[in-house]
Structure 1
Amino acid sequence: MPPNSILTALDRQRGHLFPWIAVLYATGIAIYFGLRVEPNAQHWWGILALAVCCAAIFRFGAETLRLLLMAILVTLAGFSTAGLRAHQVADVTLGWRYYGSVEGRIVEIDRSASDAVRVTLDRVRLSSVPPARTPGRVRIALHGERVFVTPEPGQTVILTANLSPPGGAVEPGGYDFRRQAWFDGLGAVGYTRTPLLLLAEPERDGLTLALYRLRMRISAAVQAALPGRAGAFASAITTGDRAGLDRPTLDALRASNLAHLLAISGLHMGLLTGFVFGALRLTLAAIPGAALRLPSKKIAAVGALVAGVVYLALSGGNVATERAFVMVAMMFAAVLIDRRAITLRAVAMAALVVLALRPEALTGPGFQMSFAATIALVAVYGALRDRAWRGPKWAYWAGGVVLSSFVAGLATAPVAAAHFNQVPHYGLLANVVSVPLMGLVVMPAAVLAALLWPFGLSGLGLGLMKPAILWILGVAETVAGWPGALSFVISPPGTVLPLLTVGGLWIVLWQGRWRVLGGPVVVAAMMLWAAAVRPEALVSETGGLVGVMTDQGRALSKGKGDGFAAKSWLENDGDGATQAQAAERLAFRTEGRLRRFEVGGGTILHATGKVAAAEALAACGEAALVVVNIRAETPPGCDVYDARRLALIGALAIEAGEDGPKVVSARDRTGDRLWSRQPQ
């Protein structure tokens, strides 16, 4: 592109550059999380020096140079924010497997993927473990009978549990729970089969726990007033408590692309605050003289903001809800200062606030899907803002619902498919016939129930919610049961989502004809995704599970155990089979207690248990490598991956190399980061 064309293109961006600040800030965060080595003191001093130099040159440079320097400074700010946050949340991580007594205060109650009640404890004490080596927070799944105490927030309890450090990625380059646990402050996870014992009643001081107890009381009251699935759904969208929802209901909502209705995010926050804003404006307009003498629009905006704060507090204040509140707060703040409320500038400001508070949110599906949908909707409706509608009013509203669902679904579909490996084919239809009820019935009824709660009449509002909720659940079950309702897709390479993001943002944000350059970037990303290839063999972090790719899909070495790894592998393969079904596929030659399989012309032995491991080690001379799930001494000339080695390097991917099997570990992909370092 000639220099004059570049200057002309940049000149056309005047007034449209602010959203790029959020993009560059997010780029800096992404660079930090993409590193393979944790920056040390010298790196940080170098970054500071670069920032100072850019700031010094900025005041003397030409306009084009200033733009470049500003881009560098914003990117460095994002990078530094992520690094600061990673060090701020640093806490003790358990360095070994622990079995014994665990004492702590319950600060959170939820459910695990296996539907077991799960408690998160702080103020943790472990038997015979000094405080300096004790994690600050642990999470324990309760698999035993809870006959002695029903868990409540604030209780100090004691139990006997199995704890271990948070697990790493289930495969190289896969989802890294260890990083999430680092930012969640979890130093250990585990389970117990023994009952909880109560040491102390819940404390009455502390705003956080008081709000949590209030949430649980509201949740229990809602489910008492609306028994069954309707009450569980109502509780989930009002308090964030999903404990009452059973697995089939959740699966149906996911298969019909209605699971987003459970997450208290932008949809719910927008519907609730929008209803309060509209109701207050109508009320003020109905009062003689008030609309003329009072700034009714601004008063309504303040009332909606207050409603948003209350909803944020009562819903648990998770990351998705915080993000949604920031977005609506930006919108109503614009109303208060007489600016246009819904613009890409407001979305960019919301993204900057969210990322400044929680930079780790950038890598999660919640942030990506939320802002993908919001940016797409704002861009599309911004382009249609000046177009007059000449059809009937009902068609205008109906078309708006269909268009909104289509645009949001199209924008979030690649992100959802990349993270969850599922494509619900009838999601648009399910949303078109369900989302309007959320806005017209469910959320207004929830506000009504909250207003009537002090008078003991909340049942009126909850009763209005029930038919609409049952309709939504019925739609979910019906759509999920249709043939071909759900298909599975392979996980994309790590470059695909960044390329899709860059291409999509370029199309939306760039002004002028050069925005078409985003199209080829999007196409290139989709071509890379279509050409994705999965590893020939995978080994779990424990060494107890191996998966080998066959013509029928990945064959697993066992039908039970290491369930999370098995489920993740099959999902990433785009395979809808269960672990039991995958275990029936033929890929292993079983000889006694040994399993043999071939990768790249080399034989690999896999064994579980002491006796089988001894046989594998004895026969290691005839194999390229050996995988066992116990600690073992490596015979001379053998390449053995035992429990000790796997604990250090994580799960394995095995591919065909030039000289036989080529092994890549999870540690090779994550590198030396704060969350991947082994505790001493």
Structure 2
Amino acid sequence: MALEPRQTSVGGNIRQAGLRLFAHLEKGLEHEREQLALWVPVAIGIGIVAWFILPNRLEWFGFCCVSLAFASAGLVMPTGGRMQQVFVLGGVLACAGCVLIWGKAATVGMPPLARPVFMEVTGEVKAVNAIPAQQMSRLLLEPIEAPALPRLVRVNIDESGMPRGVGEGAIIRFRVRLMPPAAASLPGGYDFARRAYFQGIGATGRALKPVTVLRPSAKERPLRARLFAHINGRVSGPGAGIAAALATGDQGAIADEDAEAMRNSGLAHLLSISGLHVTALVGAVIFLLMRLMALSRRAALDWPLMLIAAAGGALAGIGYTLLTGAEVPTVRSCVAALLVLGGLALGRDAITLRLVAAGAVIVLMFWPEALVGPSFQMSFAAVVALVALGEHPKFRAFVAGRDEGMSRRLARNVGTMLLTGLAVELVLAPIALLHFHKAGMLGAFANLLAIPLTTFVVMPLEALALLLDIIGAGAPFWWLTGHALDLLLAIAHGVSASPWAVVMTPTMPMGIFGAIIMGGLWCLLWRGQWRWAGMFPVAIGVAAMLMVSPPEILITGDGRHVALRSSSGEMVLLRARAGDYVRDMMAESAGFGGVMGTLADLPEARCSTDLCAVQLQGGGRTWRLLLTRSDVLVDRAIFERDCVQADIVVADRGLPPWCRPRWLKVDRRLLARTGGLAIDLDQGLVRSTKMLGDAHPWVVQPIRSSKPRSNGQL
């Protein structure tokens, strides 16, 4: 019998195992049927992200074909099953997301200026944004009789050179050097060019004096601008900028050091008009309307008080959103508030994950480009974490009201705030590390004090001060508001000063971030036991993030600024005169939290006025680097000899063909194709800012230059 053929074939066993797995998945999806709708914005988001990640039209079209093939595969599954719905709708929605952002980019965006130009510009002012903290104003202009320029241009004007009469509708003339909107200078850096494209801005620059007003503005300043100026004039001290931001969403008057402290302490969300502010306003309006209408016996007995109060709260939320500029977090919060109010008016439980999903779908339909920005990701991630935690039975049992003493009730409330704050911090940490390369670790404790202070002290005092200013009696409340904001800043600076306040990492690869986010969504959106399977990609992603090797060399897209990591772990810059922005950008990209020194001060470096030579250790060997640090021409004999001896040569100009280093030559021509570079010598890897063949419409394609010089000089 041992030699007899088997009674059941291998293929049959595999088929039976597949059928059992399919039945198990069908059973699980049927049990989770109420949660399936939550994955609609996720499927749309996958298509949007694919369009941003993939470089060109052929690959975008390929993704759409694969998505539709995925949906077609669902058509051969048993009819009416949950798996069929997942495959068909998932594939169609992913394709729809890619087509949605592709279509908006093709119809709405503004291609950037092809190359820098210095010219005289005459334009009509479309918007004015004052930035007192930087002593300048930012103008959005529509050029007149300049067909070679983009439709909209953003220009900065120093406060000392800002003439009177400049407002919306004014026509001004000035000289300026216009540049394409700045792309990311380093891998993983902030890409303003992408954001400017969808805002319709095709060029930026700083106007030179004098600025001539050809036609002064005949329009009254917008309410937001007048409110911003009024609050800044009424609040004294550093809290004025925060008071203005709470009311208008404009953070231009907040000092850099205060903004940095708010970010490092995990309180930056208080500066962006989002759920906390909209909820506080809507709740206050509903409370006041209910109390006022209850004073009338007829209204209390005959009128639908909750419906009227909800309508008043909705109008207040919409007005506040429009006043503060309708940014994505504010729009999301307003949409969520409207859905909640609608549910309350209908007598239903409206604070659910379905509400969050509906708000996400609405935002993605109108602003699909917002998905890849930190504002959308952080606001929705925080809300999903809070609602998912609030729906958990054990958490509900913990926060449920009960008969107990004051001390135990206070302790439970404090514990609730700590748990919610910790949940939000854990969810937001990978997003902050991706976009800002650092995340606050003490935000839960800082928010324990800052949120009640802002919600129940600062915002009510500011609202009362604004109301009483109508009769000229708001000064005492502005004084109290200023002192409350001083306390808020003291909390921010105190927490920020702690050595454990911030954790920094070098630029995170997108694959690691995607694994953490998808694993987190799997844990938060499902309700069955299989939700914990999402912890595996989260754990793998976190472990990979902790093991990311920081780059030894960072080179900006123009080649002028180079940062090196020495054998002692210190980061140094090639040029001592690099500004604070460059230093902060390169330190964050490298995950370095100390003070950056200068390359010439390293003992292993040899620097002259024009060149620097340095040796770095990495990958078990010594690397020889040669870097240019001036615009002076170098004799060919000297430079050719040094090029041959170097492994890597970096220059902010085009290098001649006879400069042949052993491993990599980084010059203006290479950087025009790659953008900024991050070089990991331990792994021998080079990461670039630009993708090969990137055809996204905001990417400025490199301009072919003439044949390089090959004479006796560099």
Superposition CA RMSD, Å: 3.3
2:236 to 222, 227, 234: 227
Distance 1:525 1:147, change over 3 A: closer
The residue correspondences of 1:436-451 to structure 2 (distance < 5 A) are: 436-451=452-467
Alignment length (residue pairs): 668
C-alpha deviations, 1:441-486, integer Å up to 9, x for none? 2223344445555545555654553342232122223333445444
2:198 is the counterpart of 1:194: no
Deviates more, 1:366-375 or 1:440-449: 440-449
Shift of 1:420: 2.1
Partner of 2:523: 507
Shift of 1:278: 2.4
Letter in 1 for 2:313: A
Deviates more, 1:317-326 or 1:46-55: 46-55
Paired residues of 1:536 and 1:655 also in contact (CA < 8 A): yes
Paired residues of 1:617 and 1:626 also in contact (CA < 8 A): no
2:696 is the counterpart of 1:673: yes
Secondary structure at the aligned position of 2:134 is classed as coil
Paired residues of 1:560 and 1:579 also in contact (CA < 8 A): no
Distance in 1 (CA, whole Å) between partners of 2:545 and 2:196 is 29
Shift of 1:119: 1.6
Secondary structure at the aligned position of 1:434 is classed as helix
Secondary structure at the aligned position of 2:690 is classed as helix
1:647 to 665, 672, 678: 672
Name which one, 1 or 2, has greater alpha-carbon Rg: 2
2:210 is the counterpart of 1:185: no
Distance in 1 (CA, whole Å) between partners of 2:599 and 2:293 is 63
2:606 is the counterpart of 1:589: yes
Shift of 1:35: 0.8
Distance in 1 (CA, whole Å) between partners of 2:675 and 2:196 is 16
Partner of 2:102: 83
Partner of 1:433: 449
Letter in 1 for 2:351: I
Partner of 2:155: 140
2:496 is the counterpart of 1:480: yes
Letter in 2 for 1:82: I
2:623 is the counterpart of 1:607: no
Partner of 2:134: 115
Secondary structure at the aligned position of 1:241 is classed as coil
The residue correspondences of 1:38-437 to structure 2 (distance < 5 A) are: 38-39=57-58, 46=65, 62-110=81-129, 115-125=134-144, 130-131=146-147, 133-143=148-158, 145-146=160-161, 148-149=163-164, 152-204=167-219, 213-383=222-392, 384-385=395-396, 388-390=400-402, 391-392=404-405, 394-395=409-410, 397-437=413-453
Distance 1:110 1:85, change over 3 A: same
Secondary structure at the aligned position of 1:654 is classed as strand
1:570 to 577, 587, 592: 587
Paired residues of 1:107 and 1:119 also in contact (CA < 8 A): no
Deviates more, 1:39-48 or 1:263-272: 39-48
Partner of 2:538: 522
C-alpha deviations, 1:76-115, integer Å up to 9, x for none? 1212112122222322411112222233233344478993
C-alpha deviations, 1:307-350, integer Å up to 9, x for none? 11111122122233222222222222222343322100000111
Paired residues of 1:553 and 1:582 also in contact (CA < 8 A): no
1:27 to 46, 58, 68: 46
Paired residues of 1:605 and 1:623 also in contact (CA < 8 A): yes
Partner of 2:651: 628
Deviates more, 1:177-186 or 1:70-79: 177-186
Distance in 2 (CA, whole Å) between partners of 1:345 and 1:585 is 58
Paired residues of 2:265 and 2:492 also in contact (CA < 8 A): yes
Distance 1:669 1:323, change over 3 A: farther
The runs of at least 4 aligned residues of structure 1 exceeding 6 Å deviation read: 54-59, 111-114
Shift of 1:244: 2.4
Paired residues of 1:144 and 1:193 also in contact (CA < 8 A): no
2:25 is the counterpart of 1:6: yes
Secondary structure at the aligned position of 2:112 is classed as coil
Deviates more, 1:98-107 or 1:458-467: 458-467
Secondary structure at the aligned position of 2:201 is classed as coil
Shift of 1:583: 7.1
Distance 1:398 1:282, change over 3 A: farther
Paired residues of 1:284 and 1:290 also in contact (CA < 8 A): yes
Secondary structure at the aligned position of 2:56 is classed as coil
Deviates more, 1:266-275 or 1:343-352: 266-275
Distance in 1 (CA, whole Å) between partners of 2:36 and 2:536 is 22
Distance in 2 (CA, whole Å) between partners of 1:634 and 1:196 is 46
C-alpha deviations, 1:164-192, integer Å up to 9, x for none? 21232222344323222222222122224
Letter in 2 for 1:489: T
Distance in 1 (CA, whole Å) between partners of 2:265 and 2:63 is 47
Shift of 1:47: 7.7
Paired residues of 2:75 and 2:88 also in contact (CA < 8 A): no
C-alpha deviations, 1:569-593, integer Å up to 9, x for none? 2112221234456775556432552
Identity %: 28
Distance in 2 (CA, whole Å) between partners of 1:433 and 1:457 is 29
Distance 1:57 1:564, change over 3 A: farther
Paired residues of 1:215 and 1:314 also in contact (CA < 8 A): yes
Distance in 1 (CA, whole Å) between partners of 2:183 and 2:305 is 53
Secondary structure at the aligned position of 2:33 is classed as coil
Secondary structure at the aligned position of 1:17 is classed as helix
Paired residues of 1:182 and 1:675 also in contact (CA < 8 A): yes
TM-score norm. by structure 1 comes to 0.88
Secondary structure at the aligned position of 2:695 is classed as coil
Paired residues of 1:536 and 1:548 also in contact (CA < 8 A): yes
Distance in 2 (CA, whole Å) between partners of 1:507 and 1:367 is 20
Distance 1:381 1:511, change over 3 A: closer
Distance in 2 (CA, whole Å) between partners of 1:19 and 1:581 is 52
Distance in 1 (CA, whole Å) between partners of 2:83 and 2:288 is 48
Secondary structure at the aligned position of 1:169 is classed as coil
Paired residues of 1:102 and 1:158 also in contact (CA < 8 A): yes
Partner of 1:207: none
Paired residues of 1:121 and 1:137 also in contact (CA < 8 A): yes
Letter in 2 for 1:68: F
TM-score norm. by structure 2 comes to 0.85
Paired residues of 1:449 and 1:461 also in contact (CA < 8 A): yes
Secondary structure at the aligned position of 2:156 is classed as strand
Secondary structure at the aligned position of 1:158 is classed as strand
Distance in 2 (CA, whole Å) between partners of 1:372 and 1:45 is 27
Distance 1:6 1:381, change over 3 A: same
Paired residues of 1:36 and 1:671 also in contact (CA < 8 A): yes
Secondary structure at the aligned position of 1:408 is classed as helix
Shift of 1:541: 1.2
Distance 1:230 1:537, change over 3 A: closer
Letter in 1 for 2:551: P
